[in-house]
Amino acid sequence: MATIKDVANKANLSVATVSRYLNDHPYISEDKKQRIKAAMEELDYTPSSIATQLRSKKGNMIGILVSRITNPFFSYLVDAIEKEAKKNHYNVLIMQTYDNKKSEMNMLELLKQQVIAGLIMCSVEGNPETIASYQEFGPIVLCNEQTSEALIPTVVTDQKQAVYDAMLYLADKGYQKIAYCTGGTLANEGHGRSRTEGFEQALLEKQLPIKRNWIFRQVHTSQDGAEVADKILHLPRLNRPDAVFTNSDEVAMGIMERMLQKKYQVPKDLAIMGFDNQPTTSLLTVPLTTIAQPVAALGSESTKLLLAKIKDGAYEVDQAHLKLTLIKRKSA
Amino acid sequence: MATIKDVANKANLSVATVSRYLNDHPYISEDKKQRIKAAMEELDYTPSSIATQLRSKKGNMIGILVSRITNPFFSYLVDAIEKEAKKNHYNVLIMQTYDNKKSEMNMLELLKQQVIAGLIMCSVEGNPETIASYQEFGPIVLCNEQTSEALIPTVVTDQKQAVYDAMLYLADKGYQKIAYCTGGTLANEGHGRSRTEGFEQALLEKQLPIKRNWIFRQVHTSQDGAEVADKILHLPRLNRPDAVFTNSDEVAMGIMERMLQKKYQVPKDLAIMGFDNQPTTSLLTVPLTTIAQPVAALGSESTKLLLAKIKDGAYEVDQAHLKLTLIKRKSA
DNA sequence: CTGAAAGCGCTAACAC
DNA sequence: GTGTTAGCGCTTTCAG
C-alpha cells in the first residue's frame, strides 16, 4: 500500500503539501497539484482513514443500534439511515441488541473509542442516565424511542394521536366493542404506553366500554395473535368484541388467519386493525387496515439531526414528515 | 479520554507493560497486573481501537455488501452474519448497493484502507476480475453469489437441484403445464441461470412442454406478479398453464392475489410456487408452497469462512447445512 | 505557498 | 519480567 510519503517522494514534495492537497487546503500552486495528482494515480494511492482518524479525531462512521434487523420496521429504518448517511459520505456500523443490554454497552464503548462519530439508537435497553453520560464522547440520537426525561435528543412520532384517531375511525364505522392488544403490560412505558393512552382517551370520549377481557397483553407474534383469536371466540357470543386493535401487523395477521380458518368473516364478524403497514399486508385475502409509521422520515431525520450534531451544527427536525397515517383497507 | 500513557503513569509502569497486559502477554507479575487493572478502572480507560488498528494492522470490523437490506432475504442474512461476527468479537459495517457499482467500489476501497478486515459480498455488480484484485488487501467471500471462474471463495447452495426437485414435485402431483417466472432474461448468469437449468432439465426428463408464452422474464415485484396473472388469464383456456413456478415469494403473492381477486381458485385453477419462504407466506389465505433457502447457514458459514481467512486459517464450509428445502403448503 | 518536525495512542523489537 | 524507543500514516503548528 502506498502511503502519503510515497506520494510526496514521487512528486518531489513534502508530505505536508500532499496532506494539504488531500484536505483541499487553499494556496497550493496549480502545477504541484498536478504533480501530486499524477503521483497518486501512478501509485494507486488511497489515504488511510484509520491514520486520519487517529490524528484528526474525525471519523466518518456512525453507529446504528436496533433490536433485530429482521423486523421490517427496523430494516426499513436502517435503509433510510444508510441512504442518508451515504449521501453525506458516512458509513454505518450496525449492531443488533436482541433486547440485550450488553450489545448496547458495546456500541456505546465504540462511541467512547471514537470508532463511530455518533450513534442512532432505535432501541434502548439500558438506564437512560448511563446512556446519556456517553454523550460526552459523541452525539447520540434516539429514534422512535423516548426516555422519561429529556436527556437525549429524540426523533419521535405522536403515537398517542395516531391511535386516538384510529379509534375514532372505528367508532365512526359503528364499532362499539373494541378489543386491544399490546406488546407490553399496559402499565409500562415507551410507545406501548402512548398508544394505550390514545386508545383509552378515545374510548372514554366516545363512551365506549373498556372491558378487562378485551385487553390482551404481551402479544408479539402471529402465534400470539392466533391465541388472541381463540380467546375472543371462546367468549360468549354477546360478550365478544366487534373490532380489535393490535399493536403490530404480525399479531393482526395471526388473528385474521385464525378467524378465516374457522370460517368467520373479517371484518363482518370481527374487524381487525394492524400497526406498521408491513409489506405484505396489502396482499392478504382481506387486506389489512393498519397504521403506517413514517419510517423513511424517522430514519432520515434522525440521521440529519445526528450529522448536524457531529458537525456542531443545529438541525430542526421536520415534524411535518413524521405523521403516522391510517391506511384504510378492508379488514376494518 | 485516558490513554495508555496515563495508565502507565498512574501505575508507575511503562506503557510497554500496560500494552502487554492489554494483549494478554505472558509473564507479567501478578502484583503489576493488579496495579494496572486498578489504574485502568480509576481512569475509566478504554483502549483506542483506532490506534491499535493503525499500529498493528489488525482490525475487528468486517464489511457486508447487500443490494437492499429491506429485502427479507438480505435482512436475515445480515442477521446471521452479525450474530456470528459478534460471537467472534467482530463488528459489521453494512452498505447497500441498490444494484449500483459505485457503492460496491466504495466498500472495496474500505478494504484497501484497512477499515474493514474482510468483506462478505451478498451481491455483486462489478467485474469479477476487478473485485478479485482487491483480495490483495484482505479476504473476500461471496455469499449466495458466484463468478464464472473460481476467482473468489464462495458459499453457495445448489439452486439448480432445488428447482429440479420442485419441478419433479409438481409433475408428480400431476401438473403438466408449468409456467416459469424469472427475474432475469433467461439467458443471463447468476442463480437465475442455475434455477432455469433445473427447470429445463426436469421438464425435459418428464417430457413436459416448455412453452414460450409460459415463460415470464424480468418479473420482480408483486405488481409484476399481478401482471403475470393477467397474462395467464388472457391465454385461451386450453392453452393456460396449470402451475407456475416463480422466482420469489413476492411475485408468487402477486399472482395469487390477482387470481383470488378474480375468483379463481388456488391451486385448483392454478398452482403457485414461490421462492424464499418469506415470513408471511404461511399466513396467506392459501398458504404458499415455496422453497426455503438456508439463510442462517449461508450467513454463518460465510462469516466463519471469512474469519478463518482473516486469521490465515482454513475453514471447510459445511455443505450439509446449505440445503434448500421445499416447503409444501397449500398453493401447489 | 512550502517544508520540518512534533505528535495522535498504541505495538513490538531490542535491550537489560 | 520490564523499560526504551522507533515507528504505523496522517495532520498541523511553526518557520521560512
DSSP string, A185-244: -SS--HHHHHHHHHHHHHHHHTT----GGGEE-S--SHHHHHHHHHHHHHS-GGG--SEE
- Rounded CA-CA distance A297/A276 in Å is 14
Q: Which residue has the higher pLDDT, B17 or B30?
A: B17
A315's grid cell: 438541525
> For chain A, what is the mean pLDDT?
94
Q: Is the CB of B36 under 7 A from strand D?
A: no
In this structure, the dihedral spanned by the alpha carbons of residues B5, B9, B10 and B12, taken in order and rounded to 10 degrees, is: 130
Residues of B in contact with A54 (CB under 8 A): 48, 50-51, 54
The type of residue at A291 is: I
- Rounded CA-CA distance B137/B55 in Å is 16
Residues in chain A: 332
Position A256 confidence tier, pLDDT thresholds 50, 70, 90: very high
DSSP calls for B119-140? EEESS--S-HHHHHHGGGTS-E
User: Which residues 7 to 66 of A reach strand D, CB within 7 A?
Assistant: 15-16, 19-20, 22-23, 47-48, 51-52, 54-56
Q: Does the pLDDT of residue A191 top 80, yes or no?
A: no
Domain boundaries, chain B: 4-54, 60-157+295-322, 159-292
Residues of A in contact with B103 (CB under 8 A): 86
The protein residue nearest D3 (Cα–C1') is B14
Is B82–A94 a contact, with Cβ atoms under 8 angstroms apart?
yes
Q: Which of B231, B239, B246 is nearest to B199 (CA)?
A: B246
Residues of B in contact with A109 (CB under 8 A): 46
Q: Which of B239, B315, B228, B316 is nearest to B272 (CA)?
A: B228
Is A83–B96 a contact, with Cβ atoms under 8 angstroms apart?
yes
Please tell me the predicted confidence (pLDDT) of residue B26. 73
* Segment holding B195, helix H or strand E: helix B190-205
Residues of A in contact with B51 (CB under 8 A): 54
Residue B130 CA to C4 C1' — how many Å?
40
Mean pLDDT of A115-139: 95
Position A150 confidence tier, pLDDT thresholds 50, 70, 90: confident
Residue A209: is the preceding peptide bond cis (ω within 30°)? no
Is B46–A253 a contact, with Cβ atoms under 8 angstroms apart?
no
Q: How far is CA A198 from the centre of its chain?
A: 21
Chain D positions within 7 A of any protein Cβ atom are 1-5, 7-13
Contacting residues for B198 by C-beta, under 8 A, at least 6 apart = B159, B160, B161, B162, B163, B164, B165, B166, B167
Residue A24 CA to C5 C1' — how many Å?
22
Mean pLDDT of B279-296: 92
Closest residue in B to A280 (Cα–Cα): B280
Taking only the tens place, the pLDDT of each residue in B58-107 is 899 999 999 999 999 999 999 999 999 999 999 999 999 998 999 999 99
Residues of A in contact with B82 (CB under 8 A): 69, 94-96
Task: For an interface test with B, give the residue of A115, A280, A282, A331 to mutate (most B CBs within 10 A).
Answer: A280
Please tell me the predicted confidence (pLDDT) of residue A245. 97
- Rounded CA-CA distance A307/A85 in Å is 8
Is A69–B51 a contact, with Cβ atoms under 8 angstroms apart?
no
Tell which phi-psi region holds residue B140, choosing left (phi > 0), alpha (psi between -120 and 50) or beta: beta
Of A49, A51, A79, the CB nearest to B96: A79
Give the residue ranges with Cβ < 7 A from strand C.
Answer: A 12-17, 20, 27-29, 32, 51, 54-55; B 1, 3-5, 15-16, 19, 22-23, 47-48, 51-52, 54-56
Contact predicate B317/B305, CB 8 Å: yes
Closest residue in B to A83 (Cα–Cα): B96
Q: Which of A123, A152, A155, A136 is nearest to A316 (CA)?
A: A155
Taking only the tens place, the pLDDT of each residue in B191-212 is 788 999 999 999 999 999 999 9
Please tell me the predicted confidence (pLDDT) of residue B279. 85
Q: Does the pLDDT of residue B119 top 90, yes or no?
A: yes
- A277-282, Cβ contacts within 8 angstroms, sequence gap of 24 or more: A277/A249, A277/A327, A278/A72, A278/A73, A278/A249, A278/A250, A278/B280, A279/A72, A280/B253, A280/B278, A280/B280, A281/A249, A281/A252, A281/A253, A281/A329, A282/A329
Question: Coil, helix or strand for A327?
Answer: strand
Position B315 confidence tier, pLDDT thresholds 50, 70, 90: very high
Is B46–A91 a contact, with Cβ atoms under 8 angstroms apart?
no
Taking only the tens place, the pLDDT of each residue in A214-248 is 999 999 988 999 999 999 999 999 999 999 999 99
> For chain B, what is the mean pLDDT?
93
Strand (E) positions, chain B? 61-66, 91-96, 118-121, 140-143, 154-155, 178-181, 215-216, 243-245, 271-273, 290-292, 325-327
Is B253–A113 a contact, with Cβ atoms under 8 angstroms apart?
no
Could you give the residue ranges of the DSSP H alpha helices within chain A?
4-11, 15-22, 30-43, 49-56, 72-87, 101-112, 128-133, 159-172, 190-205, 222-234, 249-261, 295-310
Mean pLDDT of B1-11: 91
Residue B27 CA to C12 C1' — how many Å?
16
Q: Does the pLDDT of residue B282 top 90, yes or no?
A: no
CA distance B70 to chain A (A): 5
Please tell me the predicted confidence (pLDDT) of residue B198. 96
Please tell me the predicted confidence (pLDDT) of residue B139. 96
Q: How far is CA B228 from CA A47, A280, B163, B180, B194, in A?
A: 50, 18, 20, 10, 22
Closest residue in A to B296 (Cα–Cα): A70
Residue B54 CA to C10 C1' — how many Å?
8
Please tell me the predicted confidence (pLDDT) of residue B47. 93
Please tell me the predicted confidence (pLDDT) of residue B244. 98
CATH fold of the domain at B60-157+295-322: Rossmann fold (3.40.50)
A241's grid cell: 368484541
CA distance B201 to chain A (A): 33
Residues in chain B: 332
Is B283–A254 a contact, with Cβ atoms under 8 angstroms apart?
yes
Q: Does the pLDDT of residue A27 top 90, yes or no?
A: no
Cell 462469516, residue located:
B303
Identical fold between A60-157+295-322 and A159-292? yes
Q: How many CA atoms lie within 13 A of B120 on its CB side?
A: 32
Residue B306 CA to C10 C1' — how many Å?
26
Q: Does the pLDDT of residue B56 top 80, yes or no?
A: yes
The protein residue nearest D7 (Cα–C1') is B55
Of B53, B92, B285, the CB nearest to A50: B53
Is A283–B68 a contact, with Cβ atoms under 8 angstroms apart?
no
Q: How many CA atoms lie within 13 A of B322 on its CB side?
A: 18
Q: Which CATH number fits domain B159-292: 3.20.20.80, 3.40.50.2300, 2.40.10.220, 2.60.40.650?
A: 3.40.50.2300
Q: How far is CA B170 from the centre of its chain?
A: 27
Please tell me the predicted confidence (pLDDT) of residue B199. 96
Position B299 confidence tier, pLDDT thresholds 50, 70, 90: very high
Mean pLDDT of B163-184: 95
Tell me which architecture the domain covering B4-54 has in CATH.
Orthogonal Bundle (1.10)
Of B70, B112, B254, the CB nearest to A46: B112
Please tell me the predicted confidence (pLDDT) of residue A158. 95
Using C1' positions and the CA of B8, the closest nucleotide is: D3
The type of residue at A219 is: V
Is B69–A91 a contact, with Cβ atoms under 8 angstroms apart?
no
Weakest-pLDDT range from A240-244, B44-48, B147-151: B147-151
Is B79–A95 a contact, with Cβ atoms under 8 angstroms apart?
no
